[in-house]
Amino acid sequence: MAELTQLGTTASESVKTQEAARQIFVTPKAVERIRDAFAREGVSGGLRLGVLGGGCSGLSYQFKFAPEARPRDHVFDFDGVKVFVDPKSMVFLDGMTLDWKDSLMQSGFVFQNPHATRSCGCGSSFSA
């Protein structure tokens, strides 16, 4: 991460630069489904993505509607759909892609997480 530090920056500025480099991705198909869910439920704001302790693999994905971002949230915008991630969850979600899959067996959101070393069969929990 040293390549992100510039001459003349303080340690806190360096941390902010590193934090700004964190990213999640949401596919166009998932954006469409999120937008549909907002319209169907009649809510506005954004989608809160997070990680909670528990689940069959140790950590569980959480996502829910949120009226607005919290002060320390990472806020991402995907074609007008806002996604909020708290700093603690961002550690586990950095580099993750949220997708939507349709198959004969199931339809739903799919988390492609580079930090997941193991995940459960349903894909809603993982261990890092």
Residue-wise pLDDT for 46-81, tens only, equals: 999 998 876 555 788 888 999 999 999 999 999 999
**Residue ranges of the chain whose pLDDT lies below 50:** 1-18, 121-127
Fold of 22-127: Hypothetical Protein Aq_1857; Chain: A; (2.60.300)
Three-state DSSP class for residue 29? helix
C-alpha 18/C-alpha 22 separation (Å) is 7
Domain limits, the chain: 22-127
Three-state DSSP class for residue 75? strand
Rg of the chain (C-alpha set)? 16
pTM of structure: 0.74
Contact 52, 64 (CB under 8 A): no
